[in-house]
Amino acid sequence: MRKQIWLGAVALILAATASVAHAFGFADVDRRARELANRPYAKPAFVLPKSLKDLGYDQQRDIRFDPAQSLWRAQKLPFEVQFFHLGGIFDQPVRVYEVAANEVREIVFDPAAFTYGRTKLDRAQVGKLGFAGFRVHFPLNSQGYKDEVVSFLGASYFRALGQGQRYGASARGLAIDTGERQGEEFPRFDQFWIERPAAGARQLVIYALLDSRRVTGAYRFVIRPGEETGTDVQARVYLREPVAKLALAPLTSMFFFGENQRAPAEDFRPEVHDSDGLAIHAANGEWIWRPLVNPRRLLVTSFAQTDPRGFGLMQRDRSFSSYEDLEARYELRPSVWVEPASKWGAGRVELVQIPTPNEANDNIVAYWVPNTVPPLGTPLDISYRMSWLKNTDRRPPGGWVVQTRRGFGFVNSIPNDSVKLTVDFDGPALRKLPVNAPLQADVAVANGQSTDLVVHRNEATGGWRMVVQMRTQDKEKPVEVRASLRNGKEILGETWNYIVPLTQ
């Protein structure tokens, strides 16, 4: 009798131990990242078959995952997962696992889950390839259809959507040496673990292991779809080798031309961009707005901060008439806001703007660079929430910049080589001012001199307009101008900070 009780107790202990042994979480990914950091980097040996490597954009789009094969469709769960096929620039496979009931199983690539359309491929060559990435579906805009809400594809790139949005700006897990002369290193997520959601789940948990020559890392993503889809990020990064610039919470977007910079060639569209400005919310409460440009040369600028409240690449202009593009629908592209979940300390928000000849290239990058990084092998922890926004953009409550327009300066109605900038501000604090309010602008110019400054009410909109004219000192360098509106001693709204690009 006592022997049976003892055996039963042992069985319960073994069952509990097995359950714990098979449980999976951030600590498991962290252990793998730490082990990788203590070993030399092993370059992937996988070589994509030439037939897939040579696929063009349209050919690769012709390879589609069969929605009927979606992960969790048979179980009728609120989230479903579909997978991307290798091909073209996506030439390295990722391993994807499902975490369910304290067990981990690998999701094995099966070519039968894809339709290949007009793409002529030897099925024998694709039998054991692996996936390029995956995307998650959820009933975002209606209960009757599961929309794509987030995708992970290529290096450490991912992007998400809120209600009524179209894909635009992207995010990355990490960036290394962006904008540096020695060139950028692109760490990649090579393994993912996705937790099976409960029947009524409103969020999805994804883990990822990051690896590259100089860095490893463990990541946990919590995806919360909604009007503004939230992505909570927990990361622990290890350095194998020193890096010149460790860029955290990086965002990537596109700016071709806009209201502040004319199209380089005749175009029926007034503006073409995924984002029109960088917004920063400083620890002291100041809001900074930097309109984006498509520069003639690489342009890297920094904003020193300590414990910032947030930053993001924003698409503020939401009017269709600003873009007139029925296919791209730029007015529906999301703004992406990064909000620290802990104190980040001293560092800088850096903005990289790269010349681009067309709208096909992402040429804008923004990220956080800490002033100090830990020694090799010592973890760096960072956590933050990313919000993918359209109707709820982050901006100061009192007033903000609506638009920035650039043109030639004039003397006696004759255009000259000076630059004239027209900036419109709007918001509750500005609208409640009387028409004759003594509003002033505090303006500072680097590599230039202000020659004329006017602030007056915009009677067409109810906001306020600042017009500043300036001359450049060194024509081989851009002009930076900074301004804020002031009513007496009270600063109204955000600080406008603009780089006048070199003449195209």
Tens digit of pLDDT for each residue in 400-430?
999 999 988 776 666 677 889 999 999 999 9
State which CATH number among 2.40.50.140, 3.40.1160.10, 2.60.40.10, 2.70.98.10 fits the domain covering 26-389. 2.70.98.10
CA-only gyration radius of the chain, Å? 26
Question: Distance between alpha carbon 370 and the CA centroid of its chain, in Å?
Answer: 18
Q: What is the pLDDT confidence band of residue 504, given thresholds at 50, 70 and 90?
A: very low
> For residue 5, is pLDDT > 50?
no
pLDDT of 358 higher than 90: yes
* pLDDT bucket at 101, cuts 50 / 70 / 90: confident
Per-residue model confidence as pLDDT tens digits over 28-66 = 999 999 999 999 999 999 999 888 998 888 888 899 999
pLDDT value, residue 478: 86
Residue 14 has pLDDT above 50, yes or no: no
Per the CB < 8 A criterion, the answer to whether 185 and 213 are in contact is: yes
- pLDDT at residue 22 is higher than 90: no
Where does residue 236 fall: left (phi above 0), alpha (psi -120 to 50 degrees), or beta otherwise?
Answer: beta
Q: What percent of the chain has pLDDT over 90?
A: 81
- Is the pLDDT score of 13 beyond 60? no
Both tokens of 119, joined, read 């793409």
> Can you tell me which residue has the tokens 């007056």?
456
**β-sheet bridge partners, residue 498:** 481
| Residue of higher predicted confidence among 204 and 493 | 204
Residues 208-230, buried b or exposed e (16+ Cβ, 10 A)? bbbbbebbbbbbbbebbbeebbb
Predicted pLDDT at 329: 98
Determine what percent of the chain is predicted with pLDDT higher than 70: 93
- Check whether 467 has a pLDDT greater than 60: yes
Separation of alpha carbons 329 and 272, rounded Å: 10
- The domains of the chain are located at 26-389, 400-500
Rounded Cα distance, 131 and 136, in Å: 14
Look at residues 417, 401, 398 and name the one whose alpha carbon lies nearest to residue 409: 417
The pLDDT assigned to 363 comes to 97
Rounded to 10 degrees, the C-alpha dihedral 205/152/341/177 comes to: 150
- What does the block give as tokens for 392? 């709820």
What pTM was computed for the model?
A: 0.93
> pLDDT tens digits for 131-142?
999 999 999 999
Residue pair 349/366 in contact by the 8 Å Cβ criterion: yes
Residue type (1 letter), 237: V
The CATH number assigned to the domain with range 400-500 reads: 2.60.40.10
Report which secondary-structure segment, H or E, holds 387.
Answer: strand 380-389
What's the confidence (pLDDT) of residue 170?
Answer: 98
Positive or negative CA dihedral for 12, 16, 18, 19? positive
Residue 454's SS3 state is strand
Tell me, what's the pLDDT at 413?
66
| The residue type at 62 | D
455, pLDDT greater than 90: yes
pLDDT for 325: 98
User: Are 189 and 221 within 8 A, CB to CB?
Assistant: no
Q: What gap in Å lies between CA 159 and CA 229, rounded to an integer?
A: 11
pLDDT of residue 4: 45
Helix or strand or coil: residue 9? Answer: helix
pLDDT tens per residue, range 474-489: 888 888 999 999 999 9
CA dist 257 to 179, 254, 262, Å? 21, 9, 6
Residue 6 has pLDDT above 70, yes or no: no
Looking at residue 417, its pLDDT comes to 76
Stretch 260-275: mean pLDDT: 96
User: Looking at the predicted structure, is the pLDDT value of residue 18 above 80?
Assistant: no
Q: How far apart are the first and last CA of the chain?
A: 91
Reported as a single tens digit per residue, the pLDDT across 274-333 is: 999 999 999 999 999 999 999 999 999 999 999 999 999 999 999 999 999 999 999 999
Give the pLDDT confidence of 373-404 residue by residue, as tens digits.
999 999 999 999 999 999 999 999 999 999 99
Cα dihedral 378, 30, 388, 316, rounded to 10, equals: 10
What's the average model confidence in pLDDT over 486-500? 93
What's the CA gap between 92 and 135, in Å, rounded?
Answer: 17
Residues present in the chain in total: 504
pLDDT at residue 9, rounded to an integer: 39
Give the pLDDT score at 119.
Answer: 82
Q: Give the CA angle between residues 232, 237, 242 to the nearest 5°.
A: 145
